Amino acid sequence: MAAATFDAHQYARRLIDAGFSSSQADVLAETTGEIMLEITSVATAVEKLECKMTAEFEKQRAYIDQRLAEQRQAMAEQAQSMMRWILVVGASFGLIQTGLLTAIVVKLLF
């Protein structure tokens, strides 16, 4: 963030030109300068916090993406396993059915 410069002397002169006494203008210029420093300090702290939050969000996003990829991989593996199981069971029932039909045909013929 670009730091705003505050010229307390120029500010005091403007206050005096506007009708403030010299002591009032000095106090106002001094306190306004302190407030400007505090605002700059807060803005810097906010920027640092924003950087930390952005880094943490990126870290969490990467973690979530990794976990999501792992879950998708696990689901794909489970789908393949289930498909194999279904095919094996289907083939087994097909063989059993073929065997039973063959046995019935043989029994009927002989």
Can you give the residue ranges of every domain in the chain?
A: 8-109
Predicted confidence at residue 3, as pLDDT, reads 57
Query: CA-to-CA distance for 108 and 104, rounded, in angstroms?
Result: 6
Name the average pLDDT for the chain: 93
Q: What pLDDT shows up at residue 2?
A: 53
Q: What is the pTM of this model?
A: 0.55
Residue 7 CA neighbour count, 13 Å, CB half: 6
> How confident is the model over 29-56, as a mean pLDDT?
96
Largest CA distance in the chain: 130
Neighbours of 15 (CB within 10 A): 19
Q: For position 6, what pLDDT does the model report? A: 85
